[in-house]
Amino acid sequence: MKGFTRMIRVNENFLKLQAGYLFPEIGRRVAAYAAEHPRADIIRLGIGDVTEPLPPAIIDAMHRAVDEMAAAETFRGYGPEQGYEFLRRAVAEKEFGPRGVNLDADEVFISDGSKCDTGNFQEVFGLDNVVAVTDPVYPVYVDTNVMAGRTGGSENGRYGGIVYMQCTAENDFIPALPKQPVDMIYLCYPNNPTGAVATRDQLAWWVEYARSNRAIILFDAAYEAFISDPAIPHSIYEIDGAREVAVEFRSYSKTAGFTGLRCALTVVPKDLKAYKRNGEAVAVHSLWSRRHSTKFNGASYISQAAAAAMYTPEGRAQVKAVIELYMDNAAAIRRALGDLGYEVYGGVNAPYVWVKTPDGIGSWEFFDKLLHEANVVGTPGAGFGASGEGYLRLSAFNKPQRVREAMERLAKL
Ligand code: MLT
């Protein structure tokens, strides 16, 4: 290094990250297998990616939006960074309103995905906050906090400084309140990956915890549309007091088939506060709005017009039918695996089935066995955290015929 007094340095927090991101790693293993076995007919129940085409009401709205872009009188350039008023209002009135949740349209921020929003939101909080996550967990919450520098290095699959809250079959995959103080609490219900749901009482404990500890809950509700049990809350704002302590993330990806189109929303109530070192309260809404307008130029007009079509009577009915198709798949997976003697969780109010691996074999070993012997792709539970070891996640997002075939292959193992 002699001779260099200055040099460009990396953000060494990135070097703390363990291996690659989970889904590309699975993709790599599947691609390697497919290259060696070009005739293998692989059924993918790994990453939760939708297979059904977009419903007609959404396609029609997109066609109209494209036509608008083609005419000088209706062409649109940059839109508002936080999203078009027509969509923010539809979300507040038609998505949250019917559940008794009153939101102002400007508390809804439209983006191009919940992965980005759940990953980016931590930026508005100080680096000395303590992060709490469930274990297993959607890896984005953890990895983005590692990148930001809010953690130490990793040991045995866990990063120093993060509070991991174990979710196991014994606690119905709902974590106990942490014993040590925490500031940023990531919760995802219906849960990815376990498929568990949180009851009203369970969410109320968390809201109460956050209120009494001046903490914030980052509530990922990306799978709320898959809830069938009427007693289960769809939004954390159905709990009294949650407006003061919670951000909520929702996505059109799984709900309406937008994984390739991209559109999502984040709710930041104006009552939500974080604090300066001197104890002075700051509205998180203004921080996120500032961050959004500085780093984001808005989701495309076409995808926002498409999302708004979900709130029409036809759009709603068509989207519901697709969700039912996926949930029938989930039921078929549960039934087939149950009959084969597997221990299965989830898949009732969520599109993921969480399967205990047989004979105590490891998650990645079971993943490899299914890939090699049945040509079926799942997601190893260990990829979601230490407590996911010994489990495999199967996604219900596929064609019913393919799901049936996958189950027939598993029966022959
Ligand atoms: C998953 O399979 O967990 C999801 O598709 C990942 C995501 O939504 O980013």
192 lines ligand 1 (CB under 6 A): yes
What is the predicted pLDDT for the residue at 98?
A: 97
The helix-helix angle for 313-339 and 56-70 (nearest 10°) equals 140
Concatenating the DSSP letter of every residue in 271-309 gives T-EEE-TTS-EEEHHHHHHHHHHHH---S-HHHHHHHHG
- What is the per-residue pLDDT across 10-35, written as a single tens digit (0 to 9) for each? 999 999 998 777 888 899 999 999 99
3-state secondary structure of 413: coil
Question: Considering the entire predicted model, what is its pTM?
Answer: 0.96
Q: Tokens at residue 313, please?
A: 């009577």
Tokens 């189950």, residue located = 407
Ligand 1 centroid to residue 198 C-alpha, Å: 19
48 lines ligand 1 (CB under 6 A): yes
* Most ligand 1 atoms within 8 A of CB, residue of 137, 138, 142, 143 to mutate: 138
Ligand 1 centroid to residue 47 C-alpha, Å: 6
Ligand 1 centroid to residue 157 C-alpha, Å: 20
257 lines ligand 1 (CB under 6 A): no
> Given a cut of 80, is residue 269 above it in pLDDT?
yes
Report the alpha-carbon distance of residue 104 to residue 86 in Å, rounded: 13
User: What is the number of the ligand 1 atom nearest to the C-alpha of 379?
Assistant: 2
Please list, residue by residue across 355-385, b when 16 or more beta carbons sit within 10 angstroms of its beta carbon and e when fewer do. Answer: bbbeeeeebbebbebbbeebbbbbbbbbbbb
What is the predicted pLDDT for the residue at 1?
A: 58
What is the predicted pLDDT for the residue at 179?
A: 92
- What is the per-residue pLDDT across 350-406, written as a single tens digit (0 to 9) for each? 999 999 999 889 999 999 999 999 999 999 999 999 999 999 999 999 999 999 999
> Given a cut of 90, is residue 218 above it in pLDDT?
yes
Ligand 1 centroid to residue 303 C-alpha, Å: 19
The number of residues making up the chain comes to: 413
Average predicted confidence (pLDDT) for the chain: 96
- What is the per-residue pLDDT across 328-355, written as a single tens digit (0 to 9) for each? 999 999 999 999 999 999 999 999 999 9
